[in-house]
Structure 1
Amino acid sequence: MQLNTIKPASGAKHAKRRVGRGIGSGLGKTAGRGHKGQKSRAGGYHKVGFEGGQMPLQRRLPKRGFKSALLKYNGEVTLGELQALEMVEVSLAALKAAGLVARNVKNVKVIKSGELSKKVALVGIGATAGAKAAIEAAGGSLA
């Protein structure tokens, strides 16, 4: 192989379509836009969802649902993650330092997933009913 024999893969390069360049090109006169109408005009087209003046679908359907902006500040930790954590007293700052929750999290809740056999004291952290029972069964506490 030499530099002068290298060429792009077949079909990788193709000539740009040049419209409005005479009858011989096959795309002269109306340049592939057809005759008259909104789509033939310069700058003339409809917005996304436009249905020719009919009430658009996104406006005909009812509004539904709600997603709280506060959800991004909530985090969760499993019992299995607490078991792997080498701490007796667990707080929000400790979980952030360990990388178990994101930096912008303000509220953390422990969920019952995995096993917990060591004693853990939670400070300023909530827990589900099942997780609370599992923590207390292992000799831990919630403050």
Structure 2
Amino acid sequence: MKLHELTPAPGSRKNRKRVGRGPGGTDKTAGRGHKGQKSRSGAGKGSFFEGGRSTLISRLPKRGFNNVGTTYEVINLAQLEGVEGETLDRAALELAGLVRRKNRPLKLLGRGEITRAVTVHVDAASEAAVKAVEAAGGRVILSSASSETAEQAE
């Protein structure tokens, strides 16, 4: 016996019913009856439809707090050690592969250590990260939108 000679057991496979393909019981209306929403293509209202009344999710009380805050692309100090150059801006960090999502603002965090003096251009930074960069002889420059709020806070 060879692979191309294999066949299913007789009676184990059945042809699918081809509805709407000529006389034979399921022609014309194809088992959908006459007219009405359920007879149309794309018919149905979805599993959550409740006959026009308010859905269950609308009737239940809402609890908790939905924080619609800014989601940052995070960069740690330890990651900056592997990046070449004195000035590290968004373009340099993207080239080094540290920025995955280009539409998110950058935030520098203080995990790890930095041993060389670099100038880092980011949108936000933690206090620990700024202190660590300045201690190594470098500086952190925040973007215009973030720096305005930082100056007002001082």
TM-score range, shorter chain: 0.5 to 0.7
Cα deviation, residue 79, structure 1: 0.9
Would you say the 8 A contact 2:114–2:133 is kept in 1? yes
* TM superposition score normalised by structure 1: 0.60
C-alpha RMSD of the superposition: 3.8
In structure 2, distance between residues paired with 1:66 and 1:126: 19
Q: Aligned letter for 2:66?
A: G
Cα deviation, residue 48, structure 1: 2.9
Would you say the 8 A contact 1:125–1:142 is kept in 2? no
1:112 is matched with which residue?
A: 110
1:139 is matched with which residue?
A: 137
In structure 1, distance between residues paired with 2:111 and 2:15: 58
In structure 1, distance between residues paired with 2:48 and 2:75: 42
Would you say the 8 A contact 2:109–2:128 is kept in 1? yes
Q: 1:59 to 1:113 in 2, by over 3 A?
A: same
Would you say the 8 A contact 2:107–2:122 is kept in 1? no
Cα deviation, residue 126, structure 1: 3.2
Would you say the 8 A contact 1:79–1:116 is kept in 2? yes
Structure 2 residues without counterparts, runs of 5 or longer: 26-30, 142-154
In structure 1, distance between residues paired with 2:103 and 2:44: 45
Structure 1 residues without counterparts, runs of 5 or longer: 23-30
In structure 1, distance between residues paired with 2:113 and 2:15: 63
In structure 2, distance between residues paired with 1:55 and 1:129: 49
What is the identity percentage for the equivalent residue pairs of Structure 1 and Structure 2?
A: 31
